Structure 1
Amino acid sequence: MNHDSPLSPLPLADTPCRVLTTRQLRERGVSAADADEHCRPGGPWQQVLPGVHLLHPGPPTAEERLLAVLLYAAQRGPSVPCQGGGERPAPEVMVTGFAALALHGLTAAPPLSALERIDVLVAATRRLRSAGFARVVRSAGLPVPEEITGLPVAPLPRALADAVAQLSDAASVRRLLACAVRDGHGAAGAVLAELERAGLTAEPQVADAVDVLLAEGRAVAERQLYAMVADHGLPDPVWNVDLRMPGGPHLGSVDAYWPEHSVALEIESVAPHRDDDLPDPAPDRTRAHLERLGITVVRCAPHTLHETPRDQAVVVRTALMAAADREPGAYVVVLPR
């Protein structure tokens, strides 16, 4: 074919999706030879990844890069229709790493336009190599993706783990993890569990950030507890106190205490227990000791304060109302923690 001759028009005028695979082009009546001719230097198209074509000559937008990476990873897998025409990959592939964090809205993550490569998560059994701006991440077990802007995206804890795995700087890891929890993108326990699953907590730059992660998770849970009490009309407790017997030993520390009702509330630890660890018996000892003194102890997980604060408020209100039907609890000294 004479490369100086004008290219013949192709039957794609009614295709809103401007990123298509070779197979998708073939299904639309465009042969591989015609596609190659349109992608030659100076042509109206370009091949941005192996087997993936951009149907205009300019640089791809961030959305086009995302779709191109997903289509590249799913070329031999199933696909489903996408908004505006064309197809998008089925959930067997999903965006992960820094690109996924940007899609989740994490302010500490670089914007999509600044990323040289986009991570795509696939099954460990896939025979697929990284290419161009597509970086392949394999996993023996794929999470259920979330749909953001019509594309499959890894849940935030998994996306964080895949991003952190690429970092060697402890300050960067701390900033990323703290931002995710502080801004409400993910629960500290879920994030830490995913880091442990990926074997990252043994890495020095991650181990250094775990305390920051847990502190942020604790602070978030406390703020959610304050909001639960205020939003659901519960009586004000005394906050963050130590309980002691008059002139006697320390009984335990609690996050909220209603002295007139003898009801205490503890936020459970945000750190999950590793399989090789024994559960910390201290909270159970505190609860048993206080309940022997007639003090009801309500324990709540941080995720319940975030996900179902109304249900948690009902539990606390029930405990407060039940105080009228039981013997008064022992007198204890309440001290600031």
Structure 2
Amino acid sequence: MNHNTPLSPRPLRHLADVQQRVLTTAQLRAQGVSGADVTAQCRPGGSWQQLLPGVFLLRPGPVTAEERLHAVLLYAARSSATEPGVPLQPAGPGQRPSQRYAEVLVTGLAALALHGFPSAPPPASLDRVDVLVPRLRRLRSTGCVRILRTPALPEPVEIAGVPVAPVPRALADAVADLTDAGIVRRLLTEAVRGGHCEPASVVRELAQARLLSRPHVVDAVDSLLAEGRAIAEDRLYRMVAEHGLPDPVWNVELRLPGGPPLGGLDAYWPDHAVALELDTRAPRHDDDAMWSEYARKREHLERLGITVVHVTPKKLRDSLAQQATVVRTALMASGDREPAAYVVVLPR
């Protein structure tokens, strides 16, 4: 075989263009290319080049970002089959392209770039690409690949044929290596401002990664929660305006006459004795205590005849009309209830 010899008479039409250019030793063997042929092609001045152990680019010249990403995925996925060296199979009907890359997800900064984060550097500029694999995989970091292990892979997000970790997990993996407080804050803020996820899911991943003890991460989380609450409140105002709900009084505190405060509320309809509370709690170490306080306040108000509607930022983002229906139903049902206790409404 020389440099002008066709790869194989077997068709590769089931593969995308980049997947025809970047192949593993096992895939080449399945196409009738021997190890000696591969070695010959990869000699100095040859037509091919080795990108990673067992992964080859079937052309000379600079490597593109797309080729590098797929080489990383092939390296991390190539030994995940039951039998070592078994080539990855073409996707069948209804199978996602990323299922060719079994048990591997791009994560960290490279994943955030693929998700479209302005502050994340493009994958081509990164010295390494982080990939998630199951904890028991026998695989080592090498070259531009850093292997991160996890007990259970999250559900992948498909971006341009690449299996990518969801934003909260990708953020946690990126933040674990970042010491610049400004960059961490920008990435976390972009996650919420860009509509990628809710603050609670980000904080949950950071907590699981044991990153909330780092001062610069805690400061960034405080900014994230403030940003998330502002966005959720804006959606709440839109819900009332766009779905024809009567105007409530906003951001108030209720008290019994001459008694202690009953707690703050994001919206209250005095004529209907309906309260709305926006749950922007983030899962931290004191989450159980905070939830208990929420529950106590709700039970106390309901004993006084006040209906409490509990909404989350995620529900407002994903089902605004449905949340408006919940509130409207509570308002309409107020006429069928016993009159609520008299309470004093104060600005919060």
Any residues of structure 2 matched to 1:115-264 within 5 Å, and which? 115-246=126-257, 248-264=259-275
Q: For structure 1, which runs of at least 5 residues remain unmatched after alignment?
A: none
> Where does residue 108 of structure 1 map in the other structure?
119
Work out whether residues 294 and 330 of structure 1, in 8 Å CA contact, stay in contact via their aligned partners in 2.
Answer: yes
**1:211/1:276 CA distance change after superposition, 3 Å:** closer
**1:61/1:178 CA distance change after superposition, 3 Å:** same
Give the Cα separation in 2 of the matches to 1:308 and 1:172. Answer: 31
* CA-to-aligned-CA distance 1:17-43 (integer Å, 9 cap, x gap): 211011111111111111121112222
Question: Percent of aligned pairs with the same residue?
Answer: 60
Give the Cα separation in 1 of the matches to 2:269 and 2:333. Answer: 13
> Where does residue 95 of structure 1 map in the other structure?
106
Amino acid corresponding to residue 76 of structure 1 in structure 2: S
Give the Cα separation in 2 of the matches to 1:322 and 1:313. Answer: 14
Work out whether residues 74 and 101 of structure 2, in 8 Å CA contact, stay in contact via their aligned partners in 1.
Answer: no
Tell me the CA shift for residue 267 of structure 1: 0.8
> Where does residue 325 of structure 2 map in the other structure?
314
Tell me the CA shift for residue 248 of structure 1: 4.7
Tell me the CA shift for residue 232 of structure 1: 2.7
Matched, 1:74 2:82: no
Work out whether residues 81 and 87 of structure 1, in 8 Å CA contact, stay in contact via their aligned partners in 2.
Answer: no
The partner residue of 2:64 within 45, 61, 65 is: 61
> Where does residue 51 of structure 1 map in the other structure?
54
Q: TM-score under structure 2 normalisation?
A: 0.87
Work out whether residues 243 and 333 of structure 1, in 8 Å CA contact, stay in contact via their aligned partners in 2.
Answer: yes
Amino acid corresponding to residue 292 of structure 1 in structure 2: R
Amino acid corresponding to residue 108 of structure 1 in structure 2: S
Give the Cα separation in 1 of the matches to 2:266 and 2:99. Answer: 48
**1:275/1:329 CA distance change after superposition, 3 Å:** closer
Give the Cα separation in 1 of the matches to 2:320 and 2:209. Answer: 31
Amino acid corresponding to residue 98 of structure 1 in structure 2: L
Amino acid corresponding to residue 74 of structure 1 in structure 2: A
Amino acid corresponding to residue 65 of structure 2 in structure 1: A
* CA-to-aligned-CA distance 1:206-227 (integer Å, 9 cap, x gap): 2232211221222222222223
Q: For structure 2, which runs of at least 5 residues remain unmatched after alignment?
A: 82-87
Tell me the CA shift for residue 230 of structure 1: 2.9
Work out whether residues 73 and 101 of structure 2, in 8 Å CA contact, stay in contact via their aligned partners in 1.
Answer: no
Work out whether residues 178 and 184 of structure 2, in 8 Å CA contact, stay in contact via their aligned partners in 1.
Answer: yes
Give the Cα separation in 2 of the matches to 1:109 and 1:226. Answer: 32
Amino acid corresponding to residue 301 of structure 1 in structure 2: T
The partner residue of 2:41 within 38, 48, 62 is: 38
Alpha-carbon RMSD across the aligned residues, in angstroms, is 2.4
The partner residue of 1:9 within 2, 5, 15 is: 5
**32-41 vs 248-257, greater mean Cα deviation:** 248-257
Give the Cα separation in 1 of the matches to 2:248 and 2:124. Answer: 48
Tell me the CA shift for residue 80 of structure 1: 4.0
Give the Cα separation in 1 of the matches to 2:321 and 2:62. Answer: 49
Matched, 1:28 2:39: no
**1:80/1:202 CA distance change after superposition, 3 Å:** farther
Tell me the CA shift for residue 309 of structure 1: 2.4
* CA-to-aligned-CA distance 1:153-185 (integer Å, 9 cap, x gap): 111111111111111122221111111112211
* CA-to-aligned-CA distance 1:256-298 (integer Å, 9 cap, x gap): 1112211110011331254895344332333233323322111
Amino acid corresponding to residue 33 of structure 1 in structure 2: A
Give the Cα separation in 1 of the matches to 2:239 and 2:4. Answer: 66
* CA-to-aligned-CA distance 1:51-87 (integer Å, 9 cap, x gap): 111111122222111111000001112334269xx99
Work out whether residues 187 and 303 of structure 1, in 8 Å CA contact, stay in contact via their aligned partners in 2.
Answer: yes
Q: State the number of aligned residues.
A: 331
Work out whether residues 80 and 88 of structure 1, in 8 Å CA contact, stay in contact via their aligned partners in 2.
Answer: no
Work out whether residues 91 and 145 of structure 1, in 8 Å CA contact, stay in contact via their aligned partners in 2.
Answer: no
**7-16 vs 232-241, greater mean Cα deviation:** 7-16
Q: TM-score under structure 1 normalisation?
A: 0.90
* CA-to-aligned-CA distance 1:99-138 (integer Å, 9 cap, x gap): 1111111222112222121111111111211111111111
